[in-house]
């Protein structure tokens, strides 16, 4: 893998925090620290629409297309970063 996974993870976390800010502003008690181990659905309580919406932002940010079949294996921020890195390396 040639792409720097640390840089990808920083960008993904930053994008995720920006995405979640409106939700956190409305529900401050739901704010958590986003780490590589953060689960997109259980820790962040994102529903399937929100996950898809966020993935579209990831695709735009990195100028990639994520195959929907790959998403069944994406649970954490780290999982998502590996998918992004693999798309960038293709």
> Which pTM does this prediction carry?
0.89
Q: Is the pLDDT of residue 3 over 70?
A: no
Query: Model confidence over 31-89: pLDDT tens digits?
Result: 999 999 999 989 998 888 998 899 999 999 999 999 888 888 899 999 999 999 999 98
| Segments of 8-71 assigned E as strands | none
pLDDT at position 38, please? 96
CA–CA distances in Å: residue 61 to residues 11, 28, 57: 9, 26, 6
**Any idea what the Cα angle at residue 44 is, between residues 74 and 52, rounded to 5°?**
50
**How confident is the model over 6-22, as a mean pLDDT?**
96
Q: In whole angstroms, what is the distance from residue 73 CA to residue 69 CA?
A: 8
**Beta bridge pairs of residue 50:** none
Angle 64-54-76 (CA atoms, 0-180°, nearest 5)?
A: 90
The predicted structure's pLDDT at residue 1: 45
Structural domains of the chain ordered from first start: 5-89 (1.10.1200.10)
């Amino acid at each position: 893998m040639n792409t720097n996974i640390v840089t990808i993870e920083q960008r993904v976390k930053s994008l995720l925090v920006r995405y979640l800010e409106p939700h956190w502003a409305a529900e401050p008690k739901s704010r958590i620290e986003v780490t590589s181990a953060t689960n997109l659905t259980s820790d962040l309580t994102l529903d399937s629409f929100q996950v898809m919406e966020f993935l579209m932002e990831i695709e735009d940010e990195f100028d990639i297309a994520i195959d929907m079949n790959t998403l069944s294996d994406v649970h954490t921020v780290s999982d998502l970063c590996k998918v992004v890195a693999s798309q960038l390396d293709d």
